[in-house]
């Protein structure tokens, strides 16, 4: 370890593994350390024995749940948009060669204690039972408008320049009611609060187009994909990439502090050893004095022996419960996957319900989501702090990611990776896909 590196990365969570992989490809000498003896950190996927050891250490898994080795359960559940930033990271680095993905079957939104397929086209709007007859037509007109809108052609604007008009102006133009605004903003554009309504409408239009483009990738019912054997495969794939380009990995390695000279980090201490570096990257758990707690994320992992009721027997899906429906500040998310993705034995389903906590009772706040699941065989409750760095790291060259939020998709995670990269390098990441022959 007593060597000199360009960068030392602390923690093998997904964000840190993406950064170390990309920096390795760009020619940086990388040392990647983790206090745990496994890859993934919060992004790990656990077998059944590990799940019980983590949440119920005094209890053994019951026989009716099946073999431990058949489970790969995510601690932080996330789907990938098939045209989203996370996929662009995979294509940029060529990491797709190490992974197999499958399409998630469907995407639903919650209203009046029922779930409905998320409509994303004019035709779907006209047939959706999510809206009344007149609202269906208004929503269809909105989607037709989006399909024709071109920023460079004022003739398509219909009097609204979306780089200047707010999303509130757009909703008003089409007379869309609060219910329609709710599913468009939260289940299609994937915003986690309503602050977007006062921002330029073009930002929301781009997010809706991303959803629709992702949906078109596989011509299915969902814009989401998910890796076989769980999300724990993702950090390991980026770790393989970094290793190919000369990165050094040390698991089960304690981190005892940072070494500074003149206010800038110059190394990381582990026991009696010090590894020198030009800068440090890491997840917030390694820097308790350099982060602040801005909330808590609650997740309840549930094992079911049946599909989620009222979904036509589908084995994978996302369900978004918008905050408006629950009279909350934050949405509730359900991610459901099954043995189709090699994460559970045949006949078993993993459903994970999550949100940003507003109080101190996770089961109470997640009850609307839990009520949709039917009978639950086993349940594991976690509450994690939502940590963010107190500065951008440019002064002392210590660059810290944020904790994973309560959403069930990777969009905010991907944005954080781009932000960390820009803070490190001073420029935006080039997302040009890696050429096949490379």
DSSP secondary structure, 329-378, as one string: SS-EEEEEEEGGGTSS-TT-EEEEEEEE-SSS-HHHHTHHHHTTS-S-SE
The answer for residues whose C-beta is within 8 angstroms of residue 114's C-beta and 6 or more apart is: 310
Percentage of the residues of the chain whose pLDDT score is greater than 90:
88
**71-81 pLDDT per residue, tens:** 999 999 899 99
Average pLDDT score over the chain:
94
Kindly tell me if the per-residue pLDDT of 408 is higher than 50. Answer: yes
Instruction: Report the alpha-carbon distance of residue 141 to residue 175 in Å, rounded.
Output: 10
CATH of domain 115-217: 1.10.405.10
* pLDDT (mean) for 95-100: 90
* pLDDT (mean) for 66-70: 97
Instruction: Report the alpha-carbon distance of residue 99 to residue 109 in Å, rounded.
Output: 29
The answer for residues whose C-beta is within 8 angstroms of residue 15's C-beta and 6 or more apart is: 283, 401, 413, 416, 417, 420
First and final C-alpha spacing in the chain: 30
- Residue 434 is predicted with a pLDDT of 72
Neighbouring-strand partners of residue 352: 301, 335
Which residues of the chain are in CATH 3.30.519.10 domains?
A: 50-105+293-386
The answer to whether 194 touches 307, Cβ cutoff 8 Å, is no
Pure H helices in 9-130: 14-25, 48-55, 85-93, 122-127
Nearest C-alpha neighbor of 9 from the set 19, 175, 285: 19
Kindly tell me if the per-residue pLDDT of 154 is higher than 90. Answer: yes
* pLDDT (mean) for 2-10: 92
- Between β-strands 279-282 and 398-400, what pairing exists: parallel, antiparallel or unpaired? parallel
- Residue 351 is predicted with a pLDDT of 98
Protein fold of 7-42+232-290+388-425 = FAD/NAD(P)-binding domain (3.50.50)
Which of 26-30, 92-96, 264-268 is predicted with the least confidence, judged by mean pLDDT?
A: 92-96
The answer to whether 307 touches 358, Cβ cutoff 8 Å, is no
Percentage of the residues of the chain whose pLDDT score is greater than 70:
98
**258-310 pLDDT per residue, tens:** 999 999 999 999 999 999 999 999 999 999 999 999 999 999 999 999 999 99
Q: CATH 3.30.519.10: does it fit domain 50-105+293-386?
A: yes
- Residue 81 is predicted with a pLDDT of 94
21: phi then psi, degrees, rounded to nearest 5: -65, -45
Kindly tell me if the per-residue pLDDT of 1 is higher than 80. Answer: no
Band of residue 433 on the pLDDT scale cut at 50, 70, 90: confident
Band of residue 438 on the pLDDT scale cut at 50, 70, 90: very low
Kindly tell me if the per-residue pLDDT of 314 is higher than 80. Answer: yes
Which residues of the chain are in CATH 1.10.405.10 domains?
A: 115-217
| pTM score | 0.92
In the block, residue with structure tokens 């992989």: 21
The answer for residues whose C-beta is within 8 angstroms of residue 107's C-beta and 6 or more apart is: 117, 118, 187, 221, 222, 223, 224, 317, 318, 320
């Amino acid at each position: 370890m007593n060597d000199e590196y360009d960068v030392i990365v602390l923690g093998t969570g997904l964000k840190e593994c993406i950064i170390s992989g990309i920096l390795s490809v760009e020619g940086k000498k990388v040392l990647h350390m983790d206090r745990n003896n496994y890859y993934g950190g919060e992004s790990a996927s656990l077998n059944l024995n590990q799940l019980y050891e983590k949440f119920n250490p005094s209890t053994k898994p019951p026989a009716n749940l099946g073999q431990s080795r058949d489970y790969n359960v995510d601690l932080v559940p996330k789907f990938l948009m098939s045209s989203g930033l996370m996929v662009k990271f995979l294509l940029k680095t060529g990491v797709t060669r190490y992974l197999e993905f499958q399409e998630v079957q469907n995407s639903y939104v919650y209203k009046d204690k029922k779930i409905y397929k998320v409509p994303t086209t004019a035709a779907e709007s006209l047939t959706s039972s999510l809206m009344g007859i007149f609202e269906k037509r208004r929503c269809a007109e909105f989607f037709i408008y989006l399909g024709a809108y071109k920023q460079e052609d004022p003739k398509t604007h219909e009097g609204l320049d979306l780089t200047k008009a707010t999303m509130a102006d757009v909703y008003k133009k089409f007379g869309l009611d609060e219910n329609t605004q709710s599913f468009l903003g939260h289940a299609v554009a994937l915003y986690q609060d309503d602050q977007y309504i006062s921002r330029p409408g073009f930002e929301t239009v781009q997010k809706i187009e991303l959803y629709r483009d992702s949906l078109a990738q596989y011509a299915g019912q969902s814009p989401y994909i998910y890796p076989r054997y769980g999300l724990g495969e993702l950090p390991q794939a980026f770790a393989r990439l970094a290793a190919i380009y000369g990165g050094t990995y040390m698991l089960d390695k304690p981190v005892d502090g940072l070494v500074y000279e003149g206010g800038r980090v110059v190394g990381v201490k582990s026991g009696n050893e010090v590894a020198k570096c030009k800068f440090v990257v890491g997840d917030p758990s390694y820097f308790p004095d350099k982060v602040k707690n801005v909330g808590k994320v609650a997740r309840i992992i549930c094992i079911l022996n049946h599909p989620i009721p009222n979904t036509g027997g589908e084995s994978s899906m996302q369900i978004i419960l918008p905050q408006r429906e629950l009279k909350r500040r934050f949405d509730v998310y359900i991610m459901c996957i099954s043995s189709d993705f090699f994460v559970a034995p045949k006949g078993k389903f993993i459903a994970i319900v999550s949100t940003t906590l507003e109080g101190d009772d996770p089961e109470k706040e997640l009850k609307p989501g839990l009520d949709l699941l039917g009978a639950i065989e086993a349940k594991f409750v976690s509450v994690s702090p939502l940590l963010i760095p107190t500065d951008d790291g440019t002064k002392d060259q210590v660059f810290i990611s944020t904790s994973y939020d309560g959403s069930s998709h990777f969009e905010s995670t991907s944005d954080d990776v781009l932000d960390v990269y820009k803070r490190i390098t001073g420029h935006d990441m080039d997302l040009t896909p890696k050429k096949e022959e490379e």
